[in-house]
Amino acid sequence: MAASEKPHILIADDQRDVREALRLLLKSEGWNCTAVEGPREALDAAQKKHFDVALIDLNYTRDTTSGAEGLELLRELKTVDEELPVVVMTAWGTINMAVEAMRHGAGDFIEKPWDNPRLMSVLGNQRALGRARRRGQRLQAENTLLRGPAAEGFVAEAPSMRRLLERLARVAPSSANVLILGENGTGKGVIARLLHDASRRADASFVKVNMGGIPQSVFEAEMFGHVRGAFTDAKSDRIGRFELADGGSLFLDEIANIPLAQQPKLLRVLEDGELERVGSSRTLKVDVRLISATNADLPAEVANGTFRKDLLFRLNTVELHLPPLRERGEDIPLLAESFLDRFGKRYQREGMRFSPSALNALCAYTWPGNVRELSHAIERAVLMAVGDVLDASALNLASGAVAVGAGAMASPSANGQVTVEEAEKQLVRQALEKTGGNIQRAAALLGLSRPALYRRMEKYGIE
């Protein structure tokens, strides 16, 4: 058994020889032990470290028969970690005391002197029950996360993503500010929406702001609102993004792009929950959970003097690190199948599938553009493929295929679909614009021969 897999037990007993005997027994059975002499030390240990089981005496210094100190410790341990299995033991065992301990949350009861096989059986059972309860609690939280609208097509089977999802499930119900870190295209916006959907604010607003798209001159008006007459173009009152998100979540994407001069104004709202609209002296209170995201190295920005340290501390109460797609090998085929299904429906090409060579190519590619690049590659392949089976050549990964997002394509019809002709026409136009009309380069980007590109240009009347 690896050291990291060994169960860890907390032992609390005021007799040194008892602690030592238990430590030697448990060590021989492959358990790690933390042994303390009293309730205060036991609580300190439980607050600092995760334990699989706690084995506690019922009587300490106050008296030797009532069990009051042990029952009080039991209640406090359950306050620290509700799912911690606790086994109580005493040399003054009675049925009434056992019942009382079980009523307060003890998993089992051991009398001194103990029988080694029975003790190990009890501890092993309690450890297994505790792990099952924690697993059930985690799955329940994950299921809550994955029921929201943002979870459609969400894939998280890779170990790195399962760890992220577990952490997300723990933090989502709180109102703590969250900073999501990750490369471009990893899906930070999806994670932000999952956080909101699994929070107690799920029924309130989720407001997204791209901080890189707000000019410095209108930053305050956009974020805090303005009143009529505050400046030349302020012809009426306007609610800012913070007010729109009141009671809900405000997602600030590309947070590193906030101008340095505007950062103190944002900091004040985060610290006090108060703001004034531009042109007004009236103070408004807002209750907003802030979720922010960036691909920048914020500590480096702080060191360079372009980002305030105190603002960073306010933003990153909890940090979530979103792994790049190259570290999520197990997720690549699942994501690809999800995108294939989505774009097949959008472009009326249902029933398409990947060949083995395509799946091998997908898994071998490093995906510098992450999930966004994978989505674009599958969309392009669906549009340009001749048959219903996509092979490695249809993906055109080595040549840097044109990245086409849904926003770059023709608008969907009322039923959410786009005809292949409309989408293909837009794709050809985009390739020609990107290459300045160079037919050879445009054909390479599209994965077509020159004659095939000419035929499509003639078909769509493109000069």
Assess contact for 106 and 122: CB atoms under 8 A. no
Residues 342 and 445 in one domain: yes
CA trace torsion 332, 338, 341, 344 (10° rounding) = -60
CATH code of residue 176: 3.40.50.300
In a domain, 44, yes or no: yes
Assess contact for 85 and 107: CB atoms under 8 A. yes
More confident residue, 68 or 389: 389
pLDDT tens, position by position, 362-402: 988 899 999 999 999 999 899 888 889 998 888 888 644 44
Tokens 């303005």 sit on residue: 226
The runs of H, that is alpha helices, within 29-177 are 39-48, 68-80, 95-103, 116-145, 159-171
Contacts of residue 403, Cβ cutoff 8 Å, sequence gap at least 6: 369, 372, 373, 376, 377, 380
Residues 122 and 175 in one domain: no
Mean pLDDT, residues 434-461: 78
Of the CA atoms within 13 Å of residue 182, those in its CB half-sphere come to: 31
Residue 84 CB-density burial (10 A; 0-12 exposed, 13-18 middle, 19+ buried)? buried
Q: What is the pTM of this model?
A: 0.59
In a domain, 269, yes or no: yes
Residues 267 and 174 in one domain: yes
In a domain, 19, yes or no: yes
At residue 142, the pLDDT reads: 53
At residue 24, the pLDDT reads: 94
At residue 130, the pLDDT reads: 86
Residues 101 and 155 in one domain: no
DSSP annotation of 410 reads P
Residues 168 and 268 in one domain: yes
Average pLDDT, the chain: 84
Which of 114, 139, 164 is the endpoint of a domain? 139
In a domain, 103, yes or no: yes
Assess contact for 189 and 405: CB atoms under 8 A. no
Q: Which of 64-73, 77-86, 314-323: highest mean pLDDT?
A: 314-323
Res. 3 pLDDT band, cuts 50 70 90: very low
Q: Which two tokens stand for residue 10?
A: 């907390």
Residues 164 and 286 in one domain: yes
Residues 430 and 454 in one domain: yes
At residue 177, the pLDDT reads: 94
Which of 323, 340, 357 is the endpoint of a domain? 323
In a domain, 420, yes or no: yes
Residue 240, φ and ψ in degrees, nearest 5 = -85, 175
Residues 211 and 303 in one domain: yes
Residues 126 and 203 in one domain: no
Q: What percent of the chain has pLDDT over 90?
A: 37
DSSP annotation of 231 reads S
Long-range own/partner contacts, residues 217-226 (CB < 8 A, 24 or more apart): 219/258, 219/259, 219/262, 219/265, 220/262, 220/265, 220/278, 221/278, 223/265, 223/266, 224/265, 224/269, 224/275, 224/276, 224/277, 224/278, 225/277, 225/278, 226/277, 226/278, 226/279, 226/280
Assess contact for 376 and 383: CB atoms under 8 A. no
- 3-state SS class at 216: helix
- Lowest average pLDDT, out of 17-26, 144-153, 196-205, 212-221, goes to 144-153
Q: What percent of the chain has pLDDT over 70?
A: 87
Res. 411 pLDDT band, cuts 50 70 90: very low
In a domain, 445, yes or no: yes
Mean pLDDT, residues 216-227: 85
Count: domains in the chain: 3
In a domain, 271, yes or no: yes
Mean pLDDT, residues 147-159: 71
Which of 120, 139, 158 is the endpoint of a domain? 139
CATH code of residue 345: 1.10.8.60
More confident residue, 268 or 452: 268
Residues 122 and 217 in one domain: no
Assess contact for 197 and 143: CB atoms under 8 A. no
At residue 282, the pLDDT reads: 77
In a domain, 144, yes or no: no
Domain that holds residue 446: 326-460
The runs of H, that is alpha helices, within 273-369 are 298-304, 309-315, 331-346, 356-364
* 17 has a pLDDT exceeding 80: yes
Residues 90 and 44 in one domain: yes
* 264 has a pLDDT exceeding 50: yes
At residue 139, the pLDDT reads: 60
Residues 166 and 240 in one domain: yes
